[in-house]
Chains A and B, each alone.
Chain A
Amino acid sequence: MVRESVVNQDMATQAPLKEFIEQHIRYSLGKQDYGLSQREWFQAIALATRDRLVDAMLDTETRYEKVKAKRLYYLSLEFLIGRSLGNNLDNLGIRQMCIDTLKDFDVNLAEVQEAERDAALGNGGLGRLAACFLDSLATLGMPGFGYGINYEYGLFRQEIDNGYQVEKPDNWLSHGTPWQIERPEDAVFIPIYGRVESSVDRHGAYNPMWLDWKVLIGVPHDMPIVGHGGHTVNYLRLYSARSSQDFDMQIFNHGDYIQAVQQKIATETISKVLYPSDSVEAGRELRLTQEYFLVACAIRDIVRRYRKDYHNFDDFSSQVAIQLNDTHPALSVAELMRVLIDENDLEWDKAWEITQATLGYTNHTLMPEALEKWSVPLFETLLPRHLQIIYQINQQFMEVVTKKWPGDLEKESRVSLIEEGRPKQVRMAHLSILGSHSVNGVSELHSNLVKTQLVPEFYELFPERFNNKTNGVTQRRWLLQANPKLGNLLLKTLGSGWITDLNKLRGLEKYAGDSSFQEEFQSIKRINKERLGVTIHDRNHVSVNPDSLFDVHIKRIHEYKRQLLKVMHIIHEYLLFVEDGKAPTVPRTYVFAGKAAPGYWAAKQIIKLINNVGQVINHDARVGDMMKVVFVPDYRVTLAEQIIPAADLSEQISTAGTEASGTSNMKFAMNGGITMGTWDGANIEIFEEVGEGNYFTFGLRAEKVHEMEKTGSYRPRDHYANPDVKRVVDALGSNLFSPREPGLFRWIYDALLEKDTYFHLADLPAYLASQGEVGQEFKRREIWQKKAIMNVARSGKFSSDRTIRQYADEIWDIKPVL
């Protein structure tokens, strides 16, 4: 179907796309228009598309400059962009034009799109959120720009060997990318290392001098970010690290050529590789250097742009908003202070006022091990002047704390920026909170837990700073592009308004019980399941039944996300079937995907367990088509775009109080996947929106979990008395799923009975009961379809357009410039 309603007439009337493509084939690739590989076609089409983006980007900049628009800079160590061609064609409104043009060359756009490598510059939700935000900012016509690192190697490619995860490098830039525009003229000079020498200035005032530093050069690469309709094109500015000159001259002059080259390589390592989550311990110095590199490049660039129009800093915070995506860019607090007081001679108090008024901080986690801390000795080596500034911030803060709670040393030590111990550590979350005027969580529950559990003292001191911004996702990518058939049905039924106002999906409610609409809806789901079935067959060599219930758990592999609980449900069903002769109510295909951090042993074992359980069940003739278990390797944006539209059931089963928000839960709901969720993160808000009857929930609430943790009252062995629990746990302790590696999963049995940190056993009976309901309801197809349609209809709140409007109105104070 031609999406007439989403064709951009401005773009459609420009010079024919064909001419642009031909020009790039000839002059950019140096080829004729025959015998090209799919990758070459991709490059030519992408470059032709980029030309249009650049035109619109320059127009957008002119518009912003004309009204001196306040700008938002979104600093994030991760931007999980995925592929861009489809997104850019759709947002420019030229997809159909492109398809038609390519027919002249006998080329198929869908096949060409497969040649594009994912830009996997992120681990999961946090990075993908940043990418969704950029899409919404541009669609809303707001001056918002991403700042990140141009990692040469994105998140590792995952292969599965004998059930185990194997990590392979993801050199996504090996053939370059047509989307980036290198800007060497905007390269920035970044000092690092050195020492601070205390001295006095010409007037006798204290003057700490930062001397003997080394230099990094940050070279920006801009990726145009087009909003829906093509009117606004912002950019994502990604920095690559270069050494200050081609060689360190001193070493070179001393004749040590090899050492000089090694030093150059060491410098450029900074932007070489994205750290997988949970792996920072392995190379802490490099990670802190990366964080500083991004912050220093961004702040220098932001200040430089501001200073083009303003001679002093009086207007800085009314022209600039900077959002810190988690604590990774928390050094912005110290760096902006340093730039203001050292380089621009502002008084401390004035600089502090500007810094706080400019910065906002988004917290993404309550997990203590994920809260960043950096050792003071490391800080002192890398960033001696910044450490000094942090000490001074802390000293002033401690005066406030002492005044509020006189004599309460325990409180002082709890809130201090510096954690005592050997070595002392700098607490980045505390630095972010102190240096920002806004601190937000990413779902209602999480934002409340930030206030009550994570940093209650800060909330008591600065209640006005704390707020909530529930995450969202862009429907342009996660519905319109990922699920084009459903997108077309929605366009046909509701028009195109929902593409930029997702609340318009409410109009679907009246069709939820309509049998002919249900039929169309169901047939689209089936086609999506068939499409995923082909991928599963290619990757896993397992045939799956598209009429089975697709029960999906896809996300980073982490104990708190409880892939293990899902496996326990599968084992329960399997044993019920083969030992008790009770067949599942409906056939199910259990789909897993996700990456484990390379150094996270337990998570990697869970992957092995899933694969082994799949191996046993998929080859058990007694089970046949009633149960299939697949772990689809190399989870990434492109794979998620295939899996999510095919899901019937969306597993969101983290231990209550551990998942800050989740965003895949929103993508599933938008695509008619019904949530099986704990009372955690944004699951709760999805429940509130879609309604009780259109959602499955189970398990302990966060308060109960917290109380049991605090009192130590959780005794997993009590739950082991439950025969269903016992059978599953015993199976894990046996060699049923590891016949060739006896004892392989015994540790899981021990961990569950001894500690069960994530409350699997406590939640398992309720989970099994709720899954029983799922089976019953899936059999009643009309009821199930109605629920699925209601999920789509009521997913409006979870558009990142809504989230961005809230950030813009309540934190950033930026406006659309149309």
Chain B
Amino acid sequence: MDLLVEVRQGVAVVVPRTEFLDASSAEEFKRAIASTLEAYKKIVLDVSGIQFVDSAGLGALLSCLRKAASGGGDLKICGLTKPVRSVFEIARLHRVFDIYPNQADAVLAFDAV
């Protein structure tokens, strides 16, 4: 899977280039993001291009969050589209992730900390 990774103020901003994060792409996504999770402590995941997430996709996102946390880092997420937001709510993941409207706010939030 294509990921766009840009480092801004020490924060890795990751943009998956896919509309679907589901059973067909979740594993690939996890593999693609693994090196970034290892290399950076501060990560922003911009999912504004994603229109559909299923429970496998949620599982992949949750595993990213846990991996970041286990390495002493943090992952923030931004740009949730309406359908993605509602899937987060079904699983109560909106209470687990630190969610921001856009990349700038998410990056700024690291500074605030």
Binding site for B on A (CB under 8 A): 189, 191, 194, 199, 201-202, 205, 207-215, 244, 248-250, 252-253, 342-345
- Are B55 and A212 in contact, with the CB atoms below 8 A? yes
B73: min CB distance to chain A, Å: 15
B70-113 interface mask toward A, CB cutoff 8 Å, 1 = contact, 0 = none? 00000000000001001101111101111000000000000000
Which residues of chain A are near B89, meaning CB under 8 Å?
342-344
- Are B90 and A342 in contact, with the CB atoms below 8 A? yes
- Are A210 and B92 in contact, with the CB atoms below 8 A? yes
A199 to B97 Cα, complex, angstroms:
12
Which residues of chain B are near A215, meaning CB under 8 Å?
54-55
A750 to B58 Cα, complex, angstroms:
62
Which residues of chain A are near B56, meaning CB under 8 Å?
212, 250
- Are B58 and A189 in contact, with the CB atoms below 8 A? no
Question: Can you list 20 A-B pairs, Cβ within 8 angstroms, ordered by A?
Answer: A201-B96, A202-B98, A207-B92, A209-B62, A209-B91, A210-B90, A210-B92, A211-B58, A211-B59, A212-B55, A212-B56, A212-B59, A213-B55, A213-B90, A249-B20, A249-B23, A250-B23, A343-B86, A343-B89, A344-B89
Which residues of chain B are near A345, meaning CB under 8 Å?
95
A599: min CB distance to chain B, Å: 36
Closest to B23 in A: A250
B7-36 interface mask toward A, CB cutoff 8 Å, 1 = contact, 0 = none? 000000000000010111000000000000
Pick the most buried of B90, B96, B98: most chain A CB atoms within 10 A of its CB.
B90
- Are A202 and B55 in contact, with the CB atoms below 8 A? no
Which residues of chain B are near A342, meaning CB under 8 Å?
89-90, 92
B81: min CB distance to chain A, Å: 13
B55: min CB distance to chain A, Å: 5
Which residues of chain A are near B23, meaning CB under 8 Å?
248-250
Question: Looking at the complex, which one of A205, A209, A249 makes contact with B22 (CB distance below 8 Å)?
Answer: A249
A202: min CB distance to chain B, Å: 6
B45: min CB distance to chain A, Å: 16
A250 to B23 Cα, complex, angstroms:
5
Which residues of chain B are near A201, meaning CB under 8 Å?
92, 95-96
Which residues of chain B are near A248, meaning CB under 8 Å?
23
B68: min CB distance to chain A, Å: 14
A109 to B90 Cα, complex, angstroms:
51
- The 7 A-B residue pairs whose C-beta atoms are closest, nearest first, are A250-B23, A249-B24, A201-B95, A343-B89, A213-B55, A209-B92, A212-B55
Which residues of chain B are near A213, meaning CB under 8 Å?
55, 90-91
A394 to B95 Cα, complex, angstroms:
25
B52-64 interface mask toward A, CB cutoff 8 Å, 1 = contact, 0 = none? 0011101100100
Supposing A211-B58, A249-B22 touch, asked if A343 and B96 sit within 8 A by C-beta, the answer is no
Q: Interface size for chain B: under 10, 10 to 19, 20 to 34, or 35 or more residues?
A: 20 to 34
Binding site for A on B (CB under 8 A): 20, 22-24, 54-56, 58-59, 62, 83, 86-87, 89-93, 95-98
Closest to A205 in B: B95
Closest to B22 in A: A249
Q: Is the interface of A mostly helix, strand, loop or mixed?
A: mixed
A56 to B112 Cα, complex, angstroms:
56
- Are A202 and B86 in contact, with the CB atoms below 8 A? no
Pick the most buried of B55, B87, B91: most chain A CB atoms within 10 A of its CB.
B91
Which residues of chain A are near B83, meaning CB under 8 Å?
189
A236: min CB distance to chain B, Å: 26
A249: min CB distance to chain B, Å: 4
Closest to B99 in A: A202
Which residues of chain B are near A250, meaning CB under 8 Å?
22-24, 56
A252 to B92 Cα, complex, angstroms:
29
A267: min CB distance to chain B, Å: 13
- Are B95 and A202 in contact, with the CB atoms below 8 A? yes
Closest to A201 in B: B95
A198: min CB distance to chain B, Å: 11
A105 to B63 Cα, complex, angstroms:
69
A441 to B100 Cα, complex, angstroms:
50
Which residues of chain A are near B95, meaning CB under 8 Å?
201-202, 205, 207, 345
Closest to B24 in A: A249
A205 to B98 Cα, complex, angstroms:
15
Closest to B25 in A: A249
- Are B93 and A214 in contact, with the CB atoms below 8 A? no
Supposing A215-B54, A253-B24 touch, asked if A209 and B86 sit within 8 A by C-beta, the answer is no
A155 to B59 Cα, complex, angstroms:
41
A781 to B98 Cα, complex, angstroms:
83
- Are B91 and A211 in contact, with the CB atoms below 8 A? yes
B47: min CB distance to chain A, Å: 17
Which residues of chain B are near A249, meaning CB under 8 Å?
20, 22-24
Closest to B27 in A: A250
Contacts A189-B83, A211-B55, A212-B59 supplied; 18 other A-B pairs, CB < 8 Å? A189-B87, A194-B55, A201-B95, A202-B95, A202-B96, A207-B95, A209-B62, A209-B91, A209-B93, A210-B92, A213-B55, A215-B54, A249-B23, A250-B23, A250-B24, A342-B92, A343-B86, A345-B95
Which residues of chain B are near A214, meaning CB under 8 Å?
55
- Are A191 and B24 in contact, with the CB atoms below 8 A? no
Supposing A194-B55, A214-B55, A250-B56 touch, asked if A208 and B92 sit within 8 A by C-beta, the answer is yes
A619 to B59 Cα, complex, angstroms:
72
B6: min CB distance to chain A, Å: 25
A194 to B58 Cα, complex, angstroms:
12
Closest to B90 in A: A191
Which residues of chain A are near B20, meaning CB under 8 Å?
249
A565 to B54 Cα, complex, angstroms:
57
Which residues of chain B are near A344, meaning CB under 8 Å?
89
Which residues of chain B are near A202, meaning CB under 8 Å?
95-98
A194 to B59 Cα, complex, angstroms:
12
Closest to A344 in B: B89
Which residues of chain B are near A191, meaning CB under 8 Å?
55, 90
A202 to B90 Cα, complex, angstroms:
17
A202 to B97 Cα, complex, angstroms:
7
A542 to B20 Cα, complex, angstroms:
65
B90: min CB distance to chain A, Å: 5
Which residues of chain A are near B58, meaning CB under 8 Å?
211
Closest to A247 in B: B24
A212 to B23 Cα, complex, angstroms:
10
A495 to B1 Cα, complex, angstroms:
75
Supposing A191-B55, A343-B86 touch, asked if A207 and B96 sit within 8 A by C-beta, the answer is yes
A301: min CB distance to chain B, Å: 13
A212 to B63 Cα, complex, angstroms:
13
Closest to B58 in A: A211
A215 to B59 Cα, complex, angstroms:
15
A89 to B75 Cα, complex, angstroms:
62
Which residues of chain A are near B96, meaning CB under 8 Å?
199, 201-202, 207, 209
A201 to B20 Cα, complex, angstroms:
26
A340: min CB distance to chain B, Å: 11
Closest to B83 in A: A189
Which residues of chain A are near B22, meaning CB under 8 Å?
249-250
A313: min CB distance to chain B, Å: 14
- Are A343 and B90 in contact, with the CB atoms below 8 A? yes
Which residues of chain A are near B55, meaning CB under 8 Å?
191, 194, 211-215
Which residues of chain B are near A253, meaning CB under 8 Å?
24
A560: min CB distance to chain B, Å: 42
A199 to B91 Cα, complex, angstroms:
12
Which residues of chain A are near B91, meaning CB under 8 Å?
209-211, 213
Which residues of chain B are near A205, meaning CB under 8 Å?
95
Closest to A194 in B: B55
A250 to B95 Cα, complex, angstroms:
28
A252 to B55 Cα, complex, angstroms:
17
B44: min CB distance to chain A, Å: 16
A250 to B21 Cα, complex, angstroms:
12
A105 to B83 Cα, complex, angstroms:
51
Closest to B66 in A: A199
Closest to A248 in B: B23
Which residues of chain A are near B97, meaning CB under 8 Å?
202
A245: min CB distance to chain B, Å: 8
Which residues of chain B are near A194, meaning CB under 8 Å?
55
A344 to B95 Cα, complex, angstroms:
11
A212 to B86 Cα, complex, angstroms:
15
